[in-house]
Amino acid sequence: MDSAHDPRFIRLRLGPDDNSPGSIYVPYQLLSSDSYPFLHETRSLSEDKAKQDLWVAGSNCLEVLGLLVQWLHTGKYSELRGSVRRFHSLGGCQDLKMWPDLEPKETMDWAVKAAMLAWLLGYELELREFRNYAITRLFAALSRKSEQPQLTPDLCKAAWRNTEEPGEIDRALADMVVRNWGDAAVVDQADLSEWVDVIGDEESGFMEKFVGGTLVSLEKRREKVLVAEDYFEPEL
């Protein structure tokens, strides 16, 4: 029996409708081990339905669904080296395709964007362990030297705008920005007007942390080491 007609699999489909740009099959057993909402969702589906579909937001891409499948089977996903298009502010699908011909200022490291997209997919599907893994990869990616700064306003906005309320990813990014503000190799400060939108976002509560933190010298701020485990999602 193939996966398309096997009730032991669920099909994750990119939304929002039947014009789906792709889908991927995931074993129930692996998925449900980290997601109580999935168990509830699948129970509500018709038992005599051979294909059981679950739609995910159209802002996701098929590549990030592949990262989830890798993690479900192996506990990790493979990372690529290269540049991808930066997060764009107009929404829509955020892909992980390599773009060698783009201007450097329009790109970001593959590993950084993949980790953010993985975390956001884990948030949407309420996969706590997958989110925790993704944030370890985000910290690792941001700790590596890059040809251009990776802490950008659009990276923060990707988290701010795709979560219903401030959470661990927002706190982690805010702490990293405050810790490294003033180091142009780490924080992209080329367009300060973009940072005004991020820092002044009322729902994130970033303003107070930023103002208080940056009153201290860069050297002093960096005395405290940030670790990914401090931003793991707590167990229910």
Q: Where are the domains of the chain?
A: 7-231
Range scoring the smallest mean pLDDT among 24-28, 80-84, 173-177, 221-225 = 24-28
- Whole-model pTM: value is 0.86
Structure-block tokens of residue 86: 């930066």
How many other CB atoms sit within 10 Å of the CB of residue 140?
14
pLDDT band at 4 (very low <50, low <70, confident <90, very high): low
Q: Is the pLDDT of residue 171 over 90?
A: yes
What pLDDT score was predicted for residue 38?
52
Give yes or no for a cis peptide into 37 (omega within 30° of 0).
no
**Tens of pLDDT, residues 19-39:** 556 777 887 777 766 664 554
Which of the two residues, 88 and 76, has the higher pLDDT score? 76
Q: Is the pLDDT of residue 61 over 70?
A: yes
Most confident of 16-20, 204-208, 221-225: 221-225
Q: Look at residue 55 and give its three-state secondary structure.
A: strand
What pLDDT score was predicted for residue 49?
45
pLDDT band at 1 (very low <50, low <70, confident <90, very high): very low
Radius of gyration of the chain (CA): 19
**Tens of pLDDT, residues 87-135:** 876 556 788 988 788 888 889 999 999 999 999 999 988 899 999 999 9
Which residue blocks in 145-214 are alpha helix, DSSP H? 153-160, 168-180, 192-199, 206-214
Compute the mean pLDDT over every residue in the chain, rounded to the nearest whole number: 83
Amino acid, res. 233: E
